[in-house]
Chain A
Amino acid sequence: MNTKLLTAILLGSSVLCSAGAAFAQDATLTIESWRNDDLAIWQDKLIPAFEAKNPGIKVVFSPSAPTEYNAALNAKLDAGSAGDIITCRPFDASLDLYTKGKLADLTSLAGMENFSDVAKSAWTTDDGKATFCVPMASVIHGFIYNKDAFDKLGITPPATEEEFFAALDKIKADGTYIPMAMGTKDLWEAATMGYQNIGPNYWQGEEGRLALLKGEQKLTDAQWVEPYATLAKWKPYLGDGFEAQTYPDSQNLFTLGRAAIYPAGSWEISVFNTQAQFKMGAFPPPVRKAGDTCYISDHTDIGIGLNAASKNPDAAKTFLSWVASPEFAEIYANALPGFFSLNSTPVKMADPLAQEFVSWRDKCKSTIRSTYQILSRGTPNLENETWVESANVINGTDTPEVAAKKLQDGLDSWYKPAK
């Protein structure tokens, strides 16, 4: 069967249904994104602000569910039906799109100078030569707590691990609240809110992460296994049936006021603000001994790039330059407290909880999640395996040592650090 003929037949049948012909007049830019929660913010705040300044360019925000985003986006890019603007996952997923020629090189985009190299690192090639996405935001890990519950029980935010477990014991003994809202059903909670949250204090942030990349440290070394040992100790403080507790379950458990502490990512702030009817506070991951340097995971999480096959590259670049501007940063960071701008120009944020999170940048050392750069390029995929093993450790099906060994073995099977 000849494809041209086939195309002609299909083309004929398309006359019957003319819903697809909406392109013409102004340049219309479609944004692909996994942030379906942000639909209202884009429609009501960001897009009107852009369109007011740039008549002649229309922008449509078209998100899909986060779980389907990568697969759907790849299929659409391969077939050439993807939108003009692509929201970028950090590191390898986007790098892969860039090396396949799906994402355009944005190194010389006007506005790129507003970002530091660290901010751009998640969307830059290994040799540092090309940047292919405009950094939008990072997220910070820590713990959000129910202030009313803490006040009632006379607990102050713990600074050390000892205080942390003492607080958990106290909440448990009191019995009014579930000490900690976290489940292992969705796996990633255990890895992201657990392991990557508390881990940097053990492996000393960037120092450990880079040593792991260079092959100088192994996941079976003490500083990488101990966070698992600590996670395993969380088990008795989690709610009944935490093995089947999903991520929305955990969120609801906390915002309904049933749990006292929530291992969090800063992106929760906006959701929690609208749902919780009590005062909330936040504390960074407790250090191991009083006086230790604290480390936080300040993870470059979301960027935005240009589809290399876009039919409106100029309009798209105008849009991306605007995303790189301090104006965008200001609107975005305040509309979505908890997504912290990566722009070098400091942004004023009104939300107290967001302010608390961002204040840790001054007193602690920042790092990104250990599994994201380079280490998740092969099969088995270190990030995905870390999800599985973190859940296993908390569930008690694997000991910390076994989990660490499995991860290292998987990594060894394909990763040969350059020496």
Chain B
Amino acid sequence: MSRATNSFSRSAAAHAILIAYTIIALFPVFIIVINSFKARNAIFNAPMTPPTAETFDLVGYRTVLAQGDFLQYFQNSFIVTVSSLFFVLLFGAMAAFALSEYRFRGNKLMGLYLALGIMIPIRLGTVAILQLMVASGLVNTLTALVLVYTAQGLPLAIFILAEFMSTVSDDLKNAGRIDGLSEYTIFFRLVLPLVRPAMATVAVFTMIPIWNDLWFPLILAPSEATKTITLGAQMFIGQYVTNWNAVLAALSLAILPVLVLYLIFSRQLIRGITSGAVK
């Protein structure tokens, strides 16, 4: 009996802590979203209350939607993020496999070389990158962004994936080799499925900075046709912008798509991270 009450109180405590933290995590988002639906005076006078019939106002959204093509921005962000993610995962996994599977001269050195990129912010190479893109006519294309983000995401992807790949059992691969499978088949058919959890982790690590990056869209692709949603939202929060209705609406519009995407994929993500009990 005492054991039961004990476990009950323990799980109550666990829920209390988790609920408390969940509130902390969600509160700022909640505040932004509810206030984006309110009239200007209500935003300031009663920031904590949800919009009521009197204070409900879509003026912020009207301003934002009149100013910029947010659907287009969202589409740009989506294309850039998904393509970069694909290349980072594919190239990263291939390189990580080569590094963790084969012993060859310069293996360690190659590993260190590929890890260098974790340590320097790529922002520093901006001018040289921009020159390269100008020379190849890629300025104001989404391709430029995909290339930069692929390069930026690779070091960390290789670093994490190589760790995980070294734990994949040798027996399985050797069995494959005895069956006459090529190294490529072993990689794509045997190893890749096994490291899926790690791939999901890498996907999250890679996706967030790409989706949220402000700098490279600003430098490499600031044109109306290639603007990403983060850059589009930033346009409203300049030094001289005081229109909080529009700012809050723009922020909400930038939050919602990524939130929806995340909610759709979070199940797969968690399953990916946790399945297979990696070690």
Do A and B touch directly, given a CB cutoff of 8 Å in the complex? yes
C-beta contact mask, B128-161 vs A, less than 8 Å → 1, else 0? 0011111111111111000100000000000000
Is B242 a contact partner of A64 (Cβ separation < 8 A)?
no
* B218 sits at the interface (CB 8 A): yes
Contacts of A68 in B (CB 8 A): 218
Is A16 a contact partner of B134 (Cβ separation < 8 A)?
no
A to B CB contacts below 8 Å, 11 in the list = A3-B132, A10-B133, A13-B147, A36-B238, A65-B239, A67-B238, A72-B219, A80-B131, A81-B130, A251-B242, A252-B242
Is A7 a contact partner of B132 (Cβ separation < 8 A)?
yes
Contacts of A18 in B (CB 8 A): 141
Is A37 a contact partner of B241 (Cβ separation < 8 A)?
yes
7 shortest interchain CB distances as A-B pairs: A10-B136, A79-B130, A65-B238, A17-B143, A66-B239, A20-B141, A79-B131
Q: A10-B136, A36-B238, A271-B242 are in contact. Are A79 and B222 (CB under 8 A)?
A: no
Contact with A17, one of B130, B142, B240 (Cβ below 8 angstroms): B142
Beyond the given pairs A36-B235, A75-B219, A81-B134, 18 more chain A to chain B contacts, judged by CB atoms under 8 angstroms and listed by A's residue number, are A3-B135, A10-B133, A11-B136, A14-B136, A14-B143, A36-B240, A39-B67, A64-B222, A65-B239, A66-B238, A75-B127, A78-B127, A79-B131, A80-B131, A80-B134, A81-B139, A247-B239, A251-B242
Is B130 a contact partner of A75 (Cβ separation < 8 A)?
yes
CA gap between A210 and B234 in the complex, in Å = 40
* A255 sits at the interface (CB 8 A): yes
C-beta contact mask, A24-36 vs B, less than 8 Å → 1, else 0? 0000000000111
Give the distance to chain A from B228, nearest Cβ to Cβ, in Å. Answer: 13
Q: A68-B218, A79-B127, A248-B244 are in contact. Are A20 and B238 (CB under 8 A)?
A: no
Contacts of A22 in B (CB 8 A): 225
C-beta contact mask, B209-253 vs A, less than 8 Å → 1, else 0? 000000000110011011000000011011111111000000000
| Chain A contacts to B: CB under 8 angstroms | 3, 6-7, 10-11, 13-14, 16-20, 22, 34-37, 39, 62, 64-68, 72, 75-76, 78-81, 247-248, 251-252, 255-256, 267, 271, 275
Is A20 a contact partner of B135 (Cβ separation < 8 A)?
no
Contacts of B134 in A (CB 8 A): 79-81
Give the distance to chain A from B87, nearest Cβ to Cβ, in Å. Answer: 11
Give the distance to chain B from A360, nearest Cβ to Cβ, in Å. Answer: 23
Closest-by-CB residue of B relative to A78 is B127
Is B244 a contact partner of A252 (Cβ separation < 8 A)?
yes
CA gap between A20 and B220 in the complex, in Å = 11
Is A65 a contact partner of B235 (Cβ separation < 8 A)?
yes
Q: A64-B218, A81-B134, A252-B244 are in contact. Are A10 and B147 (CB under 8 A)?
A: yes
Contact with B143, one of A16, A35, A39, A267 (Cβ below 8 angstroms): A16
Contacts of A64 in B (CB 8 A): 218, 222
Give the distance to chain B from A320, nearest Cβ to Cβ, in Å. Answer: 22
| Chain B contacts to A: CB under 8 angstroms | 40-41, 44, 67, 126-127, 130-143, 147, 218-219, 222-223, 225-226, 234-235, 237-244
CA gap between A35 and B225 in the complex, in Å = 20
Contacts of A79 in B (CB 8 A): 127, 130-131, 133-134
Contacts of A75 in B (CB 8 A): 126-127, 130, 219
Is A271 a contact partner of B240 (Cβ separation < 8 A)?
yes
Contacts of B222 in A (CB 8 A): 62, 64, 72
CA gap between A16 and B83 in the complex, in Å = 13
CA gap between A81 and B244 in the complex, in Å = 33
Contacts of B135 in A (CB 8 A): 3, 7, 10
Closest-by-CB residue of B relative to A18 is B141
Contacts of B133 in A (CB 8 A): 10, 79, 81
Is B136 a contact partner of A65 (Cβ separation < 8 A)?
no
Is B235 a contact partner of A275 (Cβ separation < 8 A)?
no
CA gap between A17 and B223 in the complex, in Å = 14
Is A248 a contact partner of B140 (Cβ separation < 8 A)?
no
Contacts of B242 in A (CB 8 A): 248, 251-252, 255, 271, 275
Contacts of B139 in A (CB 8 A): 20, 81
Give the distance to chain A from B78, nearest Cβ to Cβ, in Å. Answer: 15
Closest-by-CB residue of B relative to A247 is B239
Closest-by-CB residue of B relative to A258 is B44
Contacts of B126 in A (CB 8 A): 75
Contacts of B218 in A (CB 8 A): 64, 68, 72
Is B44 a contact partner of A67 (Cβ separation < 8 A)?
no
